[in-house]
Amino acid sequence: MAHYLLAMGGKTSNEIKLSVVIPCYNEGKNIDLVVNRFLEVKPNNINVELILVDNGSIDNSHKIIANYAKKYSFIKSLHINKNIGYGNGVWQGLKNSKGEYLCWTHADMQTDLADTIKAYEMAIGQKNSKKCFVKGNRKKRLLFDNFFALGMSIFETIMLGKILYDINAQPNLFHRSFLNKIKNPPMDFSFDLYLYYLANEFNYKIIRFPVSFQKRIHGESHWSTTINGKWKFIKRTMNFTFKLKKKLKNADNNP
CATH number of the domain enclosing 220 = 3.90.550.10
Distance CA 165, CA 48 (A): 29
Give me the pLDDT at residue 18, please: 98
Q: Helical H runs in 8-161?
A: 31-41, 61-71, 86-95, 114-124, 143-160
Measured CA to CA in angstroms, residue 133 lies from 53, 175, 176, 180, 219 at distances of 22, 8, 11, 14, 30
Q: How many domains are contained in the chain?
A: 1
Q: Torsion-angle region of residue 202: left (phi > 0), alpha (psi -120 to 50) or beta?
A: alpha
Question: Using CA atoms, how far apart are residues 107 and 37, in angstroms rounded to an integer?
Answer: 11
Instruction: Assign 163 a pLDDT band (cuts: 50, 70, 90).
Output: very high
Please report which residue ranges of 140-226 form alpha helices under DSSP H.
143-160, 191-201
| 22 is a domain residue | yes
Please state the pTM of the whole predicted model. Answer: 0.85
- Residue 171 to residue 90: CA distance in whole angstroms: 12
| Any domain includes 226 | yes
Which of the residue ranges 118-132, 208-222, 238-252 has the most confident prediction, judged by mean pLDDT?
118-132
| C-alpha span between 102 and 20 (Å, rounded) | 6
- pLDDT > 80? residue 142: no
Query: Domain span at residue 132?
Result: 16-253
In a domain, 5, yes or no: no
Under the banding of pLDDT at 50, 70 and 90, the label for residue 68 is: very high
4: in domain? no
Q: What is the pLDDT of residue 5?
A: 40
Of the two residues 204 and 234, the one the predictor is more confident about is 204
Verify cis geometry, omega within 30 degrees of 0, for the bond prior to 171.
yes
B/e letters for 40-72, b = 16+ CB within 10 Å, e = fewer, are eebeeebbbbbbbbbbbbebebbebbeebbeee
**Measured distance CA(54)–CA(48) in Å, rounded:** 19
Residues 100, 166 contacting (CB under 8 angstroms): no
**2 is a domain residue:** no
Please give the share of the chain, as a percent, with pLDDT higher than 90: 66
**Residue 8 located in a structural domain:** no
Domain membership of residue 207 (yes or no) is yes
